[in-house]
């Protein structure tokens, strides 16, 4: 099982495109990448979950951990997700109130740089 | 009618194997596709909790998933030999591990009606749920 992670930078944001299944086996790879970005000074991060087929509590834990890290630097972490099966996981756990969730990367990078 | 028992090494790489197996079993049992998805998530969460519990406790025993089909319902049970905990007494503000576990319990209970997460006889925890089957 592979997790694909691609990072691109805009003027204002680091955009992390994730593809595959985020579970207990693959989530550490995402955590390491997000920690690396923050340690390099990227404090406004967008995580694009449109290519994610599966997301579990370990993946949610990684995203919450990353949110705490960027907030410590007055940064932001927003998500891109339109898939019902993934949105459902955020709703069940109450995290729709914690993360700004956008329909596209353009919307996410536009919205949180205002 | 199929009764299946899956025993996996308590390591994170094997949780995905269980998801594949559960997806195939659920489709073979002709469950609706949205129930198949919920079941895969729920079994994956329960196995993740068990695998992480074994890792933390240094337990080298396998984690076992049993799948029993009855005419009107199927029963799924995930059993481990890790630390016992109170699923109703988790503090999401305590540690990262406890936050994750509390989110996992919320997912299990929301996806599977009547999901039980309790200490079992002998060491460890058992997570059990039933899924109604369509009568045809």
Query: Is-contact A112 A15, C-beta < 8 A?
Result: no
Q: Give me the pLDDT at residue A114, please.
A: 47
pLDDT tens digits, one per residue of B73-117: 999 999 999 999 999 989 888 898 999 999 999 999 999 998 999
B96–A60: do the CB atoms touch at under 8 Å? no
A1: confidence class by pLDDT, cuts 50, 70, 90? low
Q: Give me the pLDDT at residue B35, please.
A: 93
pLDDT tens digits, one per residue of A12-61: 999 999 999 999 999 999 999 999 999 999 999 999 999 999 999 999 99
Q: Give me the pLDDT at residue B136, please.
A: 52
Q: Predicted ipTM?
A: 0.93
Q: Give me the pLDDT at residue B2, please.
A: 74
Give, in degrees to the nearest 5, the angle at Cα B33 between B29 and B35.
80
Nearest to A57 among B16, B45, B110 (CB): B45
Q: Search chain A and give the residue with CA nearest B111.
A: A92
A57–B51: do the CB atoms touch at under 8 Å? no
d(CA B26, CA B132): 12
Contacts of B106 in chain A (CB under 8 A): 92-94
A54–B111: do the CB atoms touch at under 8 Å? no
* CA atoms lying within 13 Å on the CB side of residue B54: 19
pLDDT tens digits, one per residue of A71-114: 999 999 999 999 999 999 999 999 999 999 999 999 999 865 44
Q: Give me the pLDDT at residue A111, please.
A: 60
Q: What is the reported pTM? A: 0.94
Residue ranges of domains in chain A, CATH in brackets: 4-111 (3.30.750.24)
Query: Is-contact B40 B136, C-beta < 8 A?
Result: no
pLDDT tens digits, one per residue of B37-71: 999 999 999 999 999 999 999 999 999 999 999 98
Q: Three-class SS string for A46-106? A: EEEEEEEEEECHHHHHHHHHHHHHHHCCCCEEEEECCCHHHHHHHHHCCHHHCCCEECCHH
């Amino acid at each position: 099982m592979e997790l694909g992670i691609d990072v691109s930078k805009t003027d204002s944001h680091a955009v992390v495109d994730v593809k595959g299944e985020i579970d207990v086996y693959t989530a550490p790879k995402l955590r390491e990448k997000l920690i690396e970005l923050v340690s390099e000074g990227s404090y406004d991060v967008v995580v694009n979950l449109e290519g994610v087929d599966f997301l579990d509590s370990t993946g949610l834990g990684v995203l919450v951990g990353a949110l705490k890290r960027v907030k410590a630097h007055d940064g932001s972490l927003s998500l891109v997700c339109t898939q019902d099966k993934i949105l459902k996981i955020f709703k069940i756990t109450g995290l729709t109130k914690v993360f700004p969730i956008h329909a596209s990367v353009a919307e996410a990078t536009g919205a949180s740089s205002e | 009618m199929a009764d299946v028992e899956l025993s996996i090494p308590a390591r994170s790489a094997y949780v995905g194997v269980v998801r594949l197996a559960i997806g195939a079993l659920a489709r073979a049992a002709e469950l609706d596709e949205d129930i198949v998805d919920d079941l895969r998530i729920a079994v994956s969460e329960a196995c993740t909790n068990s695998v992480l519990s074994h890792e933390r406790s240094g337990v080298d025993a396998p984690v076992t998933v049993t799948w029993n089909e009855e005419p009107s319902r199927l029963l799924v049970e995930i059993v481990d030999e890790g630390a016992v905990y109170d699923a109703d007494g988790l503090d999401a503000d305590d540690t990262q591990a406890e936050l994750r576990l509390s989110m996992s319990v919320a997912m299990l209970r929301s996806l599977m009606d009547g999901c039980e997460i309790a200490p079992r006889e002998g060491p460890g925890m058992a997570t059990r749920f039933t899924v109604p089957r369509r009568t045809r």
